[in-house]
Amino acid sequence: MNKKSVKRGLMPYIFLIVFVIVVYFIFSSMNQKVNKMTYDEFVVQLNKNNITELEVTPKERSVVYLLEGKLKGYKENETFRLNVPFSDEVMKEILKTDEEGNLGFKLVANSDPESSTLLMILVDVLPLVLLVGVALWFFSRQVSTNAKSMDFGRSKARLSNGESGVTFKDVAGLKEEKEEVSELIDFLKNPKKFQKLGARIPKGVLLVGPPGTGKTLLAKAVAGEANVPFYYISGSDFVELFVGIGASRVRDMFKQAKQNAPCLIFIDEIDAVGRQRGTGLGGGHDEREQTLNQLLTEMDGFGTNEGIIIIAATNRADVLDPALLRPGRFDRQVTVNLPDIKAREEILKVHARNKVLGEGVTLKNLAKRTPGFSGADLENLLNEAALLAVRRNKESITMAEIDEATDRVLMGPAKKSKKYTESEKRLVAFHEAGHVVLGLKLDDANDVQKVTIIPRSYAGGYAMMVPKEERYTSTKKELLEQITGLLGGRVSEEINFGEITTGAHNDFEKATKIARAMVTEYGMSDLGPVQLEQQEGGVFLGRDYNKSRNFSNEIAHEIDLEMRKIMDECYKKAKEILTKEKDLVKLIAETLLEYETLTKEQIDYLVENGHMPEVESLNDFNISELKTRAKEAGIKGCSKMTKEELIDALDNLDKEDNEEDEDAK
């Protein structure tokens, strides 16, 4: 906590204490009754012996005395007061005693207050000091307010000295990308090695890739590895309401960098300020374009910025201005893609360092089951699994928690409160069984790693379908069989129930997208090897409204016919296979109704042996058997529990029994 915040926090309490003191003195003075008295009246009361207490205090450099006291018959809060001149006659009159030498009252004589240096300072100097202090405080606040109002043009770039603690050891699965940026650090540490052969280090490196792939993490690692000043800023920090502020901040940022060269500058989400110029509605010139113009000039203009290397990150390189991407500004683009299976295993090892994994958990198998996951997704997956293990009071993370965490990341938490009717549950089971069978019978269809009929998000159930092998390209046969596998749910409904439902809408969405891409982008139809559509993400307009169409209305009709032809052929093929394998569909569906969730290993065993493997743990029991065991154990409300809830309840019951046995021993 900084000193300014501490002072601001104490000020209300100081004012409160002063207020209480002032109020106390005001009320105490209001309750005190003071009677003014003349000197003659005082002498009369003195001669009558009516004075019981008297206090004498010198005033005005001992020229006048203040007399305060009480008379007989006064109340406790009642006193008299008068001023008398200092003279021997007055003092003789006051100090007059009787024959026995008694005054007849209690006398208190105070010293001259002006003779005390401390009291004089408190009375004369302290008010002046307080007045000057308050004036200076208000003046400093005014100056700081004015300074802040003039501080808009200062750069918001923050200097990092490697305090993030992230190094290249924390960045997994980006071997080539780390080599690209580590070359920058090597140049800054040892430039002569490069200059010896006439090499010029890139002035800028642009990190491009989907969200969560590790672009910002890579920049943090550069900050942790570099022994040079490292400035980091977000692209949105340049954008302001006032005209010219963004350009001023760019100038100030490069000014600071020049003073600390050699150094690195990291600009995160550069698309916030680097979008194409002249694409606004009406072609207007806005403040953001001024900021971009200044950035272009500073990166590679008439001036030179030797020793300053810029690293920037973005998810949308397609919207950046071409002048920003040319060599001399961003000489090099580093694409940070989604990790492959080997990279996913390395990423999981990094994030599993502080996790306690069970014996049955292998990161290699987990990497196989998570294609398409980014680094951020994998970190979230292990974190969700750890949270579930804590919630279930387990000492380590098992595959049960990892399976549940995978489902939560992909589809959201299970809808345990949402209950099926028996007919609806049966229909969902046969729907998912159709996907499973086509995944088994088609060589190039997506493989089903897991299937469940537990509702999640908007889905009544789902099958986790992943490619059998990860490839950079896909053949026409693979795409057609993927479409066929997606249509398996609808076909199974039609064959087994003679009725269709709305449950296949997401399958149709994916299948239609593949079919249209085959016709319009990949050239895999009778229309020939022609690209008829391509995505062009507009800078201001939405992507869906800015799709390039290089065909006439007649071709559009032919595209629709080709798409329908692909979908009809795949639907027909799916129907032939599922009709032939109707018994297998029924076996898998009936097993799903009992167990609710099946993994790939269980599916393979079921297909090979015609039944599930022998029960070894609670996870292997079907839900009806678990409910029977729970009823016998006396667990209340077990009839409304899901399979996971029943397993947790029985596990906790076993732990309690074991603890009671140990106590008895």
309 contacts 188 by C-beta, under 8 angstroms: yes
Measured CA to CA, the distance from residue 556 to residue 549 in angstroms comes to: 9
CA-based torsion, 13, 15, 18, 23: positive or negative: negative
36 contacts 69 by C-beta, under 8 angstroms: no
pLDDT at 542: 43
Whole-number Cα distances in Å, 181 to 176, 203, 266, 349, 381? 9, 12, 12, 23, 28
98 contacts 46 by C-beta, under 8 angstroms: no
Site of tokens 């890579």? 218
Whole-number Cα distances in Å, 549 to 425, 520, 531? 44, 10, 10
* Bridge partners, 534 (sequence order): 548
Average pLDDT, the chain: 76
Task: Label residues 389-402 b or e (16+ Cβ within 10 Å = b).
Answer: beebebeebbbbbb
Q: What single letter denotes the amino acid at residue 481?
A: E
Chain centroid offset of residue 439 CA:
38
397 contacts 357 by C-beta, under 8 angstroms: yes
Asked if the bond preceding 262 is cis, omega within 30° of 0, the reply is yes
Measured CA to CA, the distance from residue 130 to residue 136 in angstroms comes to: 10
Positions of the chain with pLDDT under 50: 1, 6, 146-150, 152, 281-284, 537-546, 665
Measured CA to CA, the distance from residue 238 to residue 73 in angstroms comes to: 82
DSSP class of residue 167? -
Whole-number Cα distances in Å, 627 to 197, 443, 595, 621? 76, 39, 12, 10
HSE, CB side, 13 Å, CA atoms: give it for residue 596.
22
pLDDT at 513: 92
HSE, CB side, 13 Å, CA atoms: give it for residue 183.
15
Measured CA to CA, the distance from residue 207 to residue 230 in angstroms comes to: 17
pLDDT at 629: 72
Measured CA to CA, the distance from residue 549 to residue 95 in angstroms comes to: 118
Kindly provide the residue ranges of all beta strands, DSSP E only, lying in 533-640, ordered along the sequence: 533-535, 547-549, 597-599
Measured CA to CA, the distance from residue 482 to residue 462 in angstroms comes to: 16
Measured CA to CA, the distance from residue 396 to residue 474 in angstroms comes to: 40
Structure tokens, 238: 């340049």
Looking at 260-315, list the stretches that DSSP marks H as alpha helix, in order from N- to C-terminal side. Answer: 287-299
CB atoms within 10 A of CB 355: 15
491 contacts 485 by C-beta, under 8 angstroms: no
Chain centroid offset of residue 3 CA:
28
Site of tokens 């949402």? 418
pLDDT at 122: 59
* Crossing angle of helices 505-520 and 476-486, rounded to 10°: 160
Structure tokens, 402: 């990892």
**Could you list the active site residues?**
432
114 contacts 59 by C-beta, under 8 angstroms: no
pLDDT at 545: 45
